[in-house]
Amino acid sequence: MNAQTAVKSGDPAQTAERLVVIGNGMAGCRAVEEILARNPARYKVTIFGAEPRVNYNRIMLSPVLAGEKSFDEIVLNTEQWYTDNNIDLVSGDPVESIDRTRKIVRSASGREEHYDKLLIATGSDPFLIPIPGADLEGVVTFRDLDDVERMLAAAKSGGDAVVIGGGLLGLEAAHGLSLRGMKVTVVHLMPTLMERQLDEAAGYLLQSELESRGQTILTGANTKIIHGVEGKVVGIELEDGSRVKASIVVMAAGIRPATGLAKQADLECERGILVDDNMVTSDPAILAVGECVQHRGLCYGLVAPLWEMCRALADHLTDTPTGYHGSVTSTKLKVSGIDLFSAGDFSGGEECEDIVLRDASRGVYKRLVLKDNKIIGAVLYGETADGNWYFDLLKKEEDIAEIREGLIFGQAFTQGGNTLDPSAAVAALSDDAEICGCNGVSKGEVVACINNGAHSVDAVRGTCKASASCGSCTDLVEGLLALTLGDEVEQGAATMCGCTSFGHDDVRRLILEKSFKSIPEVMQELHWSTPDGCSKCRPALNYYLLCAWPGEYVDDQKSRFVNERLHANIQKDGTYSVVPRMWGGITTPQELRAIADVSDRYGARLLKVTGGQRLDIFGIHKEDLPAVWADLNAAGMVSGHAYGKSLRTVKTCVGSEWCRFGTQDSTGLGVKLEQMSWGSWMPHKFKMAVSGCPRNCAEATIKDFGVVCVDSGYELHIGGNGGIKVRATDLLCRVDTEEEALEMSAAFIQLYREDAHYLERTAPWLERKGLEWIKSQLLDDPATVPTLAARFYHSQQFMQDDPWAQRVAGDRRDLHSHLGAIGADQLEDA
Amino acid sequence: MAQDWIDIGATSAIEAGMAATVPVEGGEEIAVFHTMQGQFYALVNKCPHKAGPLSQGIVHGDSVSCPLHNWRISLATGEALGEDKGCTPSIAMKVEEGRLFLSRAAVAATRTQVPQKAC
């Protein structure tokens, strides 16, 4: 061995034994992780991978195809991991031969590597049905990222897709292609779908559900030929002569252990590479793990056995052998909206008993197969919450005689509680019960991780990886947090939406800290789970970025609600209402004439005085909006922003100039407030009012910011709301001059803009943060008000540009016109 | 026989993440969507809930949120997603050499079909 001649000053890279791993997939990398966890210095590791990329979670390719995840989100080991652990990764260069006498592997590019121990983790190959046309362009398998990319490319131009194989993989491919807009036909040889995991009844329920989603399912169908034109697939022909057209055909008829390399090296193989309980092959220096092996006569194609094999392998390679004793497997289908769970043996037979529950109206089917008072198989459809519990009872071979009566109704029922207490369910799981199937994490590991300081779901995901992949076990992780910590669980502010695990405050803070400047950047860096967000998070992010980077961030129209995109209010019939700004609620005969003319000219069906002292013109079509605005602009009016999460109106009373009770120029102050703050985008709509005396005719005490004039000056009120839940304002402070009132208003607005969550009015914001917090922010340090106000004025420079005038000048004409029109003549003989 | 597809414009006329409308004489207005991932879809421009103009909704992934009550509609199938139930007819279309085409038969069908019954 080299170590004898090459020993130098105890350098671990020189003294370590050389471990070469063939296969940079889930099994190969997990095995290395397990070894490193036991003894990081024992081996110098080199990993060969055929794919030109780092290790990713292959079972998450389905969500990538379906558009629910991006590739980056399914990466398991980043380049950093290889570097940190001093692992040589040779990617895109598959090993082509093994020289067992010289203990050397040789790659396609001619690279030779010596090993002391060799680990084969080549996984499996998709089974290509040997029929004519299988080599046509457009016939693909579903095994790696390249396959997914080929399917996505085909889906781009739409059309028909055929998936051969109605097993787990085939159905996930069909689901993804269907979501991508293709018309999908699944061709399955057996009479029912997923027959290896489901019994007939569940297979039928599944088939009906998929058909109702628009897929065509052909069972008992044998593909005879794949037809092509000019080398490209155009469809398939079945044994019975019928044809299905397709621009892409996905072969998902099964997988075969990849044994080619092992056979070539004369290792003993049957269906898979034969291994003993320590995962050692017929050559003591060569081990094998994962889907390529055959252990005690069985080959596995699921992920859970792989984790158990890797543990046994690592124990052996670090001289503490424990042995692998085979796995009982369970399955979940990763098709959104379909809950399906299956485990063990459900083929039935003598001495077996069935317990079946059907609830047709809810689409629920549950079947447990018992033998000698033990569960040996379970099939759940429509309601799978108890899957883990049944699976645990099955693996433990627990005697269920005593709970048999209520067994089918689930764990909560059998434990006597008539309320469904979720923590009781997780409490009853044993320590080695599997919580996270994607990452192979047991209950004991999650609890240990919580006890070591991971006090939130995010922290657990970040440490032991439980619920970090598909997220279907998040409930269980939350249950374990509650159970382990009681009230100490960090509730981690509610998340912004289902696309992210971050809350509003975290996102706002990170945008500033990390200088995120665009929506895609936020989504990328903060691991959004959807490719481009949803209708909740997109407008929120757009606002947060606009608020954080005034003058720099370019408003994203795609992330605006229709009203803010079209600068008018959509009505139930699809027309719009238009509200021109009337500063402080004051208007002129010329403005009124222009409004009347516009109403006539564009067929407005209603003209209404609003609660905010404005006129609202109803029934305008989106195509006419620019012309309406042009006329209103010509009369000197600008957008009233009655449609926006923005400064809406400043309502006033007539004040000291006219009113016999008036104490200050309330109308004048109202106009100044509106001129200062119009055009500013806010977390939610924002209304102000100024009353000239405590009689409060302008209703200032139910506004977001209200001013009540008194003889001695101005009372400033905050956090009022006249909406669903009426809230009277709280008094913020009293000031002596109009200038101070204006500055305090600007500072308050900016504090709200920078701190509140999107779609949070000032009233709930104030109640969440507390009046004292807001007061201390604004009043404790005399320097803060000018600073906040200055930030508001700065931002206003970029906001006070009338959006109507921009549109009148021709900006975004596409939003107001049709793409084209189809005349009756074009349809006559259709 | 007239051609099976109607050219309605260039792909570049619709920004990714947005939608455009095509009125049909005597039929239902059609909304053509361009997703952020570059896919094009066409639906009758009516939400199955209260007939809101889907073309004005926020497009995300392969779905659109209706501007009236935020129902989420699948662009591929026209079906309401999540808890909501309902379906708006989808119009077969294709993209060829930078042009958008609607199926003539599908467009013609909007003149006779009651939208809620079509799927």
Tokens at A88, concatenated: 């040589």
Length of chain A: 830
Distance from CA of A227 to the nearest CA of B (A): 22
Chain A residues touching residue B54 (CB < 8 angstroms): none
Chain B residues touching residue A211 (CB < 8 angstroms): none
- The pLDDT, as a whole number, for residue A74 is 86
Q: Which of A625, A826, A828 to mutate to test the interface with B (most CBs of B within 10 A)?
A: A826
Position A498 pLDDT exceeds 70? yes
Tokens at A794, concatenated: 């700065």
- The pLDDT, as a whole number, for residue A250 is 95
pLDDT 10s digits, A276-293: 999 999 999 999 999 999
Contact B22 A819 (CB under 8 A): yes
Q: CA nearest A752: which of A678, A682, A679?
A: A682
What stretch of H or E contains A331? strand A330-332
Q: Which of B60, B93, B110 to mutate to test the interface with A (most CBs of A within 10 A)?
A: B60
Put simply, the chain A residues between 799 and 818 with a CB less than 8 A from any chain B CB are: 814, 818
Position A362 pLDDT exceeds 70? yes
Mean pLDDT for all residues in chain A: 88
A787 touches chain B (CB under 8 A): no
Chain A residues touching residue B68 (CB < 8 angstroms): 570, 572
Q: What are phi and psi of A153, to 5 degrees?
A: -65, -45
Q: What is the DSSP string of B10-23?
A: EGGGS-TTEEEEE-
Position A401 pLDDT exceeds 80? yes
Chain B residues touching residue A574 (CB < 8 angstroms): 51-53, 56
Tokens at A405, concatenated: 């009566």
pLDDT 10s digits, A708-752: 999 999 999 999 998 777 899 999 999 999 999 999 999 999 999
The residue of chain B with its CA nearest to that of A830 is B105
Chain B residues touching residue A180 (CB < 8 angstroms): 39, 62, 76
**What average pLDDT does range A498-524 have in this prediction?**
88
Length of chain B: 119
Angstrom CA distances, A223 to A203, A215, A242, A377, stand at: 21, 18, 10, 32
H helices of A157-225, in order, are 168-179, 200-212
pTM: 0.55
Distance from CA of A413 to the nearest CA of B (A): 27
Angstrom CA distances, A583 to A673, A804, B55, stand at: 9, 16, 33
How do B58-60 and B40-44 pair as beta strands? unpaired
Whether A307 contacts A300, CB under 8 Å: no
**What average pLDDT does range A167-193 have in this prediction?**
90
Q: CA nearest A249: which of A294, A188, A324, A186?
A: A186
**What average pLDDT does range A434-449 have in this prediction?**
83
- The pLDDT, as a whole number, for residue A14 is 57
- The pLDDT, as a whole number, for residue A336 is 62
A224, amino acid identity: K
Put simply, the chain A residues between 72 and 111 with a CB less than 8 A from any chain B CB are: none
| Max Cα–Cα distance, chain A, nearest Å | 109
Q: Which of A151, A528, A822 to mutate to test the interface with B (most CBs of B within 10 A)?
A: A822
Residue of A68, A557, A820 with shortest CB distance to B9: A820
pLDDT 10s digits, A245-260: 999 999 998 889 999 9
CA separation for the pair A352, A81 (Å, rounded): 49
Q: Which of A335, A538, A559, A562 to mutate to test the interface with B (most CBs of B within 10 A)?
A: A562
Contact B13 A819 (CB under 8 A): yes
Q: Which residues of A619-639 are buried (b: 16+ CB within 10 A; e: fewer)?
A: bbebebbbebbebbbebebbb
- The pLDDT, as a whole number, for residue A407 is 85
Whether A579 contacts A618, CB under 8 Å: no
Tokens at A221, concatenated: 């169908």
CA separation for the pair A440, A11 (Å, rounded): 34
Q: What is the DSSP string of A606-675?
A: EEEE-TTS-EEEEEE-TTTHHHHHHHHHHTT--B--TTSSBEEEEEE--GGGT-SS--S-HHHHHHHHHH
Residue of A535, A557, A574 with shortest CB distance to B70: A535
Contact A572 B62 (CB under 8 A): no
CA separation for the pair A273, A261 (Å, rounded): 10
Distance from CA of A156 to the nearest CA of B (A): 6
- The pLDDT, as a whole number, for residue A48 is 95
Contact B32 A821 (CB under 8 A): no
**What average pLDDT does range A298-319 have in this prediction?**
90
- The pLDDT, as a whole number, for residue A77 is 86
CA separation for the pair A597, A524 (Å, rounded): 50
pLDDT 10s digits, B82-114: 777 899 999 999 999 999 999 999 999 888 755
A71 touches chain B (CB under 8 A): no
The residue of chain B with its CA nearest to that of A827 is B108
Given pLDDT bands bounded at 50, 70 and 90, which one contains residue A417? Answer: very low
Contacts of range A780-784, beta carbons closer than 8 Å, 24 or more positions apart: A784/A747
Chain B residues touching residue A829 (CB < 8 angstroms): 1-2
Q: What are phi and psi of A416, to 5 degrees?
A: 85, -15
CA separation for the pair A263, A277 (Å, rounded): 20
Query: What pairs with residue B24 in β-bridges?
Result: A822
Q: Tell me the domains of chain B and their CATH numbers.
A: 2-112 (2.102.10.10)
pLDDT 10s digits, A635-644: 999 999 999 9
Put simply, the chain A residues between 624 and 663 with a CB less than 8 A from any chain B CB are: none
Tokens at A575, concatenated: 């027309």
CB within 8 Å of A599: residues ≥ 6 apart: A607, A617
pLDDT < 50: residue spans in chain B: 1, 115-118
Highest mean pLDDT: which range of A6-20, A208-222, A261-275:
A261-275
A·B CB contacts under 8 A: 144
Distance from CA of A558 to the nearest CA of B (A): 6
Angstrom CA distances, A77 to A58, A89, A121, B60, B68, stand at: 12, 11, 16, 29, 44
Position A6 pLDDT exceeds 70? no
Mean pLDDT for all residues in chain B: 89
DSSP 8-state secondary structure symbol assigned to residue A585:
G
Chain B residues touching residue A67 (CB < 8 angstroms): 37, 61-62
Contact B67 A561 (CB under 8 A): yes
Distance from CA of A181 to the nearest CA of B (A): 5
Whether B39 contacts A181, CB under 8 Å: yes
Angstrom CA distances, A297 to A196, A270, A278, A326, A327, stand at: 17, 9, 15, 10, 12
Position A183 pLDDT exceeds 50? yes
Distance from CA of A811 to the nearest CA of B (A): 14
Of chain B, the percentage scoring pLDDT greater than 70 comes to 92
What is the C-alpha radius of gyration for chain B, rounded to an integer number of angstroms? 13
CA separation for the pair A799, A795 (Å, rounded): 7
What is the SS3 string spanning A224-279?
EEEEEECCEEEEEEECCCCEEECCEEEECCCEEECCHHHHHCCCCECCCEEECCCC
To which residue do tokens 């499996």 refer? A124
Q: Which of A535, A538, A817 to mutate to test the interface with B (most CBs of B within 10 A)?
A: A535
Chain A residues touching residue B17 (CB < 8 angstroms): 532, 558
Contact B61 A534 (CB under 8 A): yes
A570 touches chain B (CB under 8 A): yes
Position A99 pLDDT exceeds 90? yes
Whether B77 contacts B101, CB under 8 Å: no
CA separation for the pair B55, B73 (Å, rounded): 11
Of chain A, the percentage scoring pLDDT greater than 70 comes to 94
pLDDT 10s digits, A525-566: 887 877 888 999 999 999 999 999 999 999 999 999 999 999
| Max Cα–Cα distance, chain B, nearest Å | 44
Given pLDDT bands bounded at 50, 70 and 90, which one contains residue A461? Answer: confident
Q: Identify the residue with better confidence: B83 or A160.
A: A160
What stretch of H or E contains A13? helix A12-15
Residue of B37, B50, B76 with shortest CB distance to A572: B50
What stretch of H or E contains A147? helix A145-156
- Count of CA atoms in the C-beta half-sphere (13 A) of A615: 20
CA separation for the pair A481, A141 (Å, rounded): 41
Distance from CA of A557 to the nearest CA of B (A): 9
- The pLDDT, as a whole number, for residue A32 is 95
- The pLDDT, as a whole number, for residue A419 is 43
Q: What are phi and psi of A132, to 5 degrees?
A: -60, 135
CA separation for the pair A154, A170 (Å, rounded): 16
CA A532 to chain centre: 9
Query: Of the given ranges (A419-423, A477-481, A807-811), which has the lowest mean pLDDT?
Result: A419-423
Query: What pairs with residue B74 in β-bridges?
Result: B63
Q: Which residues of A660-684 are buried (b: 16+ CB within 10 A; e: fewer)?
A: eebbbbbbbbbbbbbebbbbbbbbb
- The pLDDT, as a whole number, for residue A439 is 73
A533 touches chain B (CB under 8 A): yes
CA separation for the pair B11, B40 (Å, rounded): 9
Chain A residues touching residue B98 (CB < 8 angstroms): none
Coil vs helix vs strand at A752: helix
The residue of chain A with its CA nearest to that of B53 is A574
Position A490 pLDDT exceeds 70? no
Residue of A557, A563, A821 with shortest CB distance to B22: A821
The ipTM estimated for the assembled molecules is: 0.90
A413, amino acid identity: F
pLDDT 10s digits, A677-686: 999 999 999 9
Q: What are phi and psi of A576, to 5 degrees?
A: -125, 155
**What average pLDDT does range A215-236 have in this prediction?**
93
Residue of B60, B79, B104 with shortest CB distance to A533: B60
- The pLDDT, as a whole number, for residue A185 is 96
Contact B37 A181 (CB under 8 A): no
Angle value at C-alpha A767, between A761 and A772, nearest 5 degrees: 120
Chain A residues touching residue B1 (CB < 8 angstroms): 829
A561 touches chain B (CB under 8 A): yes
pLDDT 10s digits, A49-66: 998 888 888 888 888 888
Distance from CA of A183 to the nearest CA of B (A): 9
A531 touches chain B (CB under 8 A): yes
Whether A123 contacts A50, CB under 8 Å: no
Q: CA nearest A193: which of A212, A160, A170?
A: A170
Whether B48 contacts B62, CB under 8 Å: no
Distance from CA of A828 to the nearest CA of B (A): 8
Tokens at A526, concatenated: 């903060």
Whether A29 contacts A45, CB under 8 Å: no
Residue of B20, B59, B62 with shortest CB distance to A180: B62
Chain A residues touching residue B76 (CB < 8 angstroms): 178-181
